[in-house]
Amino acid sequence: MDRAAAEKNGAMNEIKRAPVPLIEHAVSPDEILKRSQAAEAKCEQELAAIVAIPDSDRTFDNTVEAFEQSVMSYIDAAQRTGILKDVHTDEQVRNAAASAEESAGKYLVKVAARRDLYQAMKGYLAHQGKTEGLAPAQKRLLDLTMRDFRRNGLELSDEELAKLVAIRTRLTELSTQFQQHLNENTSKITVGKEELAGLPEAFVARLEKTPDGGVVVTTKYPDYFPFMENAKSGEARRRLYVAFQSREAERNLPLLQEAIKLRDEQAKLLGYATHADFVTEEQMAKSGEAVKVFLSALQEKLVEKRDGDYTKMTELKRAETGDPAAKIEPWDVAFFLNEVKKLDYTLDTEKIREFFPVETVLEGMFQVYEKLLSIEIKRVEGVEAWAPEVALYEIRDRPSDRFVGYFYLDLLPRKGKYGHAAAAPVTIARQVGDQYNAPIAVMLANFNPPSPGRPSLLSHDEVKTLFHEFGHIMHQTLTAARYGSHSGTSVARDFVEVPSQMLENWVFEKPVLDLMSGHFQDPSKKLPEETIQKIKEARAFDAGYRYTRQVFLATFDQTLHTSGPQVDIDATDQRLFAQILGLEPVKEAHFAANFGHLMGGYDAGYYGYLWAEVFADDLFTRFKQEGVLNSEIGRKYREIILARGREQEPSELLHEFLGREPNNKAFLEKIGIQ
């Protein structure tokens, strides 16, 4: 079936996908920089050829599509080396990759601001102005390309455009430096022997020991979260909390402050009142005001539930300390929420963890996705990656057995590795000539490493995180969009989390948990049914605090990007922390310095997590009604939501899958709000 016929019939999975070279990690720092320069030179040559075409000879293929393909090829090359900054075991390679990534960001800023390319697009429109003969994907590419040129300042004067380019170039530098600082951070505290009460033996056993019998606890996720949930010593929790929240404050706060100032200047140059208005124009929300209304309304609905959570935690703290005036401090929240969970739902996070060895979870998760999305996942043997624990997998379509794409799994912490959980496209799926380039994606996480006698074990929350991030991998690899700028997760930022958040619902379903669980000492023992029921009952137990915290994060982000260039970051943090979370802020903490989303593409867009969850829960209603492992509904979900990417507006995709307008009823019901 040819491309045109496949588009017409909606059978994009019939397009034959061509495998592309895997990620090459055995490269020197010098080779990385040479490849970066070569990719730029190649792109420059291709763009020059586009500009040189006389307007009378311009066609969609030699102008609009040629521009798209040149830029996507360059981005592919940049991402294949850029990923090494987050994963490679050699610090010099990481630094070279970070430098190459920064150079790529600057180059793309220049390309986006080239008047000759904008004039080429205008020349095509002037001489070939009719768009009736274009396929829907072609027309959308043209519309979005012209919109992007406008947003990139091509309607500004030369002086203003030069200023905009300088701003965006500097923002690229700031973003790279901010994340690199966090990747390389080694913050830690020393905990005395008398402060180890409550910590699981297996957790303590794997920590670095001190001469006096204490341990060293880092601010990396596998150390931080178990410690904050289990350590009985409030003073030890306070020290770790401050260390965690203050990571890279001295270096990163000035970078963020400068970025906020530059983003405000950019917005004003382009005619927007605020950076939030600039960002949301191309999102589902469409304006900063719409986001403000959304967050304010949700915050108001959550106050009663938030205060109910605090009441339970406060009662426990007063009983434990014997102090009738004790109050909940920020470093108490994780510990006492865990205590509430144990008491009210008889749920012990560490006991539950024993049923979720990583390999067992992965095997079960693959089975779920295979059945749901009509695919087959196989590990590719004999392929070396950047670290020995990294694995490569191949995806094939069922029942056609057609090759779909690759993904890498890199799940354990290492020095210098990216510190959060994420999924990143490395080679972007797209049509190139008469073939469809298959995608390659990478999933990163920092789960507990194995210890003597125990494999890497996941908490239920980490199982949910794994399922979520793998949802992004599916979005990136199962795409069938014609153009790279439309494929996979290249969708509106406040829609990009919808597919992954929708899939989080699966880890609360017994058939799914039966597949993914098995005690590490006896795999035949599945997570008990009564425990599954209690997990489901406890799902909204901390909804008041948890969603209020999300409102705080999103409101903080929006406030920084709507309050002008000189906003006081720490003061805003502390004011909103007290106002929204209702807790007394910690003066020594500098949370914004390690809020990576603010410098990682979610600036003025963090609200998208909450926004997307509303639609994600609505999507899940179809599976809830028709079966969480219903392959027919799963296939429709794959073809409508995952495959089309940015080729259609999110609202159109949601309406087509649901058969109605989306609403927030399922979301509010889930968190216990009428």
Give, for 577, the enclosing helix (H) or strand (E). none
Q: What is the DSSP letter of 130?
A: -
* Max CA separation in the chain (angstroms): 85
What are the CA-CA distances from residue 439 to residues 76, 84, 214, 409, 475 (Å)? 10, 17, 47, 15, 11
Q: Which residues 6+ apart lie within 8 Å of 323 measured at CB?
A: 317
- Spell out the alpha helix ranges (H) of 504-630: 510-516, 529-537, 543-560, 569-576, 608-626
Spatial contact of 599 and 259, defined as CB atoms under 8 Å apart: yes
Cα 282 to Cα 316: distance, rounded to the nearest angstrom: 46
User: Which residues share a beta bridge with 441?
Assistant: 407, 425
Q: What is the DSSP letter of 379?
A: E
Q: Are β-strands 215-218 and 208-209 bridged in parallel, bridged antiparallel, or unpaired?
A: antiparallel
Compute how many other C-beta atoms are within 10 angstroms of the C-beta atom of residue 454: 17
- For residue 409, give the nearest of 17, 23, 19 by alpha carbon: 23
Closest CA to 35 of 101, 87, 86: 101
3-state DSSP of 193-216? HHHCCCCCHHHHHCCEECCCCCEE
User: Pick from 128, 493, 81: which is nearest to 276 by CA?
Assistant: 493
CA distance 415 to 185: 9
Q: Do residues 114 and 91 lie in contact, with contact meaning Cβ atoms separated by under 8 Å?
A: no
How far is Cα 188 from Cα 223, in angstroms, rounded to an integer?
10
Q: Of 245, 279, 144, which Cα lies nearest the Cα of 607?
A: 279
Separation between Cα atoms, residue 249 and residue 594, nearest integer Å: 7
Q: Radius of gyration of the chain from Cα atoms?
A: 25
Q: Taking the CA atoms of 464, 467, 468 and 469 in sequence, report the sign of the dihedral they define.
A: positive
Work out whether the CA dihedral 588, 593, 596, 597 comes out positive or negative.
Answer: positive
In angstroms, the CA 278 to CA 147 distance is: 12
**Which one from 229, 469, 497, 504 is the annotated catalytic residue?**
469
Distance in angstroms (rounded) separating the CA atoms of residues 409 and 359: 12
Residue 469 known to be catalytic: yes
Q: Which residues are catalytic?
A: 469
